[in-house]
Amino acid sequence: MQAHRETPGTIYDLDLTDIRNESRNHIEKMPDGSYRPIFCRHCDLPECVMSCMSGALTKDPQTGIVSYDEKKCGSCFMCVMNCPYGVLKADTATHTKVIKCDFCLLDNAEPNCVKSCPKKAIYVEEVSL
């Protein structure tokens, strides 16, 4: 949320009640009582990209990151319906664009969730299959 906020500031003054400060990831409670973070996996064969009729979602062949171009989006939300992990969602404020992890490309560094995790439980790892 901090990486995409419209007003400058720190994590300590981030207004969590402002729907424009929407999270791109979420945490689900599992049946055993534990919690799991749900992140965009920037899949090898992303269903969201393959179902996007307007070309708003693309996968960069160099970085492997799935990017979203709000200007191209037709707001059909086929990508939301086809994401096997349930990560993509319509924005709460206008219901006209998709909210998804962009790997904090705005910062050109590692994702803010990784940088700011106090327990270092979130990390980026490239896995070859």
Backbone φ, ψ for residue 68 (5° rounding):
-125, 130
Give every CB contact of residue 106 below 8 A, 6+ residues apart in sequence: 3, 4
- In this predicted structure, what is the pLDDT of residue 128? 61
pLDDT on residue 118? 76
What local confidence, expressed as pLDDT, does residue 35 receive?
Answer: 84
Give the pLDDT confidence score for residue 26 in this predicted structure.
76
What is the chain's pLDDT, residue by residue, as a tens digit (129 residues)? 767 767 777 778 877 787 777 777 777 888 999 888 788 889 999 999 999 999 999 999 988 889 999 999 999 999 999 999 889 999 988 999 999 988 877 555 778 778 777 788 777 777 665
How many CB atoms sit inside 10 A of residue 80's CB?
Answer: 17
Q: Does domain 38-129 have CATH number 3.30.70.20?
A: yes
| Cβ–Cβ under 8 Å, residues 66 and 74 | no
Q: CA-based Rg of the chain, rounded to a whole angstrom?
A: 15
Tell me if 92 sits within 8 A of 86, measured CB to CB.
no
Cα–Cα separations (whole angstroms), residue 32 to 9, 28, 84:
37, 11, 22
